[in-house]
Structure 1
Amino acid sequence: MLKLIKLELERNHVRTYVTPSIIIALSMLGILYLFAYLPQLEPDDKDMQLFIGYNNLIPLFAVLNMAAFCVLSAVMYSKFIIDDYSGKRPLLLFSYPVSRKKIFLSKLSVVSIFTILSLIISDVLIFTIFGVTERFIPLVNEPFTVAFMLLALKTTIVMAFISASIGIIAVAIGFNKKSVPTTIVSAVLLGSLMCNILVNATLNIGTLYLIALIVIIVGILSSINLMQKVHSMEVE
């Protein structure tokens, strides 16, 4: 399996997706500063209460970042799975003296691991930078403590798995028509829907975990369904 994963890394040039990840991280860092500054623009606006304090800022930021990485995940899945299993391209994959399921799992593993690690690393760097600048030019009316950093890390890990799972669900939808646009649009719609759900759930950690568990289970079932389709498919 490790050899197959290494082969996928070489074939699909995973490094090309590092740049979009960095762009997302820089954009999200700017959005975090904007969120923190918003209450100062309209201090009497009740709607601005949503952005006051780290207990509000961290979940809001995490949900938005999750949605961004959902789309990146869908783009990668489109390249790794939709493109490779369309037209005559499966001829090359099916000519390998390796189980179709193992090849598919290697593709799934590369994208899922990349999505999860990229989101976690970007969030850790973002909150580290934000925490350091808060010590010199504070925008939030409370110190950024270790407890808040742990909250950010915990929320980030949950969102990382949700993001990877939504990417799998989106590619499962797009795979039926072998359509890249369908995959990406599905990721955008699912990510937006999940944002609306999670914004109300993030303040309740138990509800957040339950939603994450449901999404992950759906993602696993989607993976199994895709694997069965790949195993039984014939070259067009």
Structure 2
Amino acid sequence: MKILIIEDEPEMLDNMRRTLEREHYNVETATNFKTASTKLGVYSYDCILLDITLPDGDGLELLAQIKSQGKGGGVIVVSAKDSLDDRLKGLNLGADDYLAKPFHNAELNARVKAVLRRLYFDGHKHIEIGNMVIHPENREIIVDGDQIEFNRKEYDILMYMITNKNRLVTKAALAEHVWGDHIDQADSFDFIYSQIKNLRKKLSKSNITVEAVYGVGYKLNIA
């Protein structure tokens, strides 16, 4: 899962980033309105942690921008402003949750997981697809009762394919979402092929297959 943190306080930003990276999220950051707006215009995210007060703009304007783009993903407004008016403005603009500073790391994790469950897993703590059961909170995958070990990238690719199971996923979108926005520095997408090859081997006992669409990308098929 890919997360964008929009926060201008360096210590707070670093703490949030490290906390979420420990949970194996792909985390990107922006420290001001301009950088955040640029990233939101180019990339997509599963969850966005948005500070209302930024040095060069209003976070609520970014929230309106996020919703107008219709890219999906959850938004948690994170701010020291804890007034009812601010909460109502954020929620009315489409925010999924509101987290007031200061907060504990455990609460940050819980709020992010709750938003992701509601958006992608119908509120459930596990996902059932055919003969496969996935527990996202501990990254456990079970096929016909047997646990299958996936490395981090294989798991991230599978989860991205599952959350886009009704869509054709381009190689560029897959690479950017799993490897981050620095992927545009890569010369090719050859590194994806080996990960997909390994993923297919590990899915061999499941009724899920990853179909290659020549020259475009991949599609998840469920028997």
Which has the larger share of helix? 1
Larger radius of gyration: 1
User: TM-score normalised to the size of structure 1?
Assistant: 0.23
Tell me: higher relative CO, structure 1 or 2? Use CA pairs within 8 A at least 6 residues apart. Answer: 1
User: TM-score normalised to the size of structure 2?
Assistant: 0.24
Which has the larger share of strand? 2
